[in-house]
């Protein structure tokens, strides 16, 4: 298994998510209905709960990055690749853009493309999968634009996959 290494793209820096990211602002994201609307968790976060979560993540062998704006070093979200099945050369992707002031600026797209490129080129994975609430139109549109396709519909969620050959 691997740990997240520092990466960067045109406007963003990606560092391993850690206790260093335990801030009141992050707690506020996790209690903001707009931010957690399509997440499985959130709405009941305290500083202690976030601290416990980050401590737990820091000790796992997973690829979990904090997304920072290069210019200001501001933490605006997280992106995760977990679990990874190196035998099947596939992994599960997830992203949280917590800082609403930076929504609509293309950071989610930029971060996703950089991390997926890392998965395909450096980790030599062949497929990335994800789950998304089907009403999350912005996310579904982004994923389709990147080349993801729907392979399963479950109640109110979609399962999508991206093959290395279809990565746009």
Domains of the chain: 7-166 (3.40.630.30)
Closest by alpha carbon to 96, among 74, 111, 117, 114? 111
In which band, very low, low, confident or very high, does the pLDDT at 1 lie, cut at 50, 70 and 90? low
Per-residue pLDDT tens over the stretch 56-93: 998 888 899 999 999 999 999 999 999 999 999 999 99
CB 79 within 8 A of CB 94: yes
User: Would you say residue 10 has pLDDT above 80?
Assistant: yes
Q: Which residue has the tokens 């990606």?
A: 14
In which band, very low, low, confident or very high, does the pLDDT at 50 lie, cut at 50, 70 and 90? very high
DSSP 32-97: -HHHHTTSSS-SS--HHHHHHHHHHHHTS-SEEEEEEETTT--EEEEEEEEEEETTTTEEEEEEEE
The Cα–Cα gap between 101 and 121 comes to: 32
| Average pLDDT over every residue of 10-17 | 97
User: Would you say residue 135 has pLDDT above 60?
Assistant: yes
Report the pLDDT value the prediction gives residue 41, as an integer from 0 to 100: 77
User: Would you say residue 48 has pLDDT above 90?
Assistant: yes
Report the pLDDT value the prediction gives residue 23, as an integer from 0 to 100: 96
């Amino acid at each position: 298994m691997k740990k997240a290494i520092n990466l960067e793209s045109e406007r963003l820096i990606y560092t391993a998510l850690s206790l260093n990211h335990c801030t009141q602002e992050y707690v506020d994201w996790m209690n903001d209905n707009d931010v957690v609307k399509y997440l499985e968790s959130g709405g009941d976060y305290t500083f202690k709960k976030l601290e416990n979560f980050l401590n737990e993540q820091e000790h796992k062998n997973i690829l979990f990055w904090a997304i920072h704006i290069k210019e200001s070093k501001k933490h605006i979200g997280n992106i995760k690749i977990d679990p990874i099945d190196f035998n099947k050369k596939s992994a599960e992707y997830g992203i949280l853009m917590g800082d609403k002031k930076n929504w609509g600026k293309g950071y989610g797209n930029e971060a996703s493309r950089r991390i997926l490129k890392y998965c395909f080129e450096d980790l030599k994975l062949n497929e990335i999968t994800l789950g998304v609430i089907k009403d999350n139109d912005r996310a579904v549109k982004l994923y389709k634009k990147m080349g993801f396709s729907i392979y399963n519909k479950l109640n109110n969620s979609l399962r999508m996959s991206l093959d290395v050959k279809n990565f746009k």
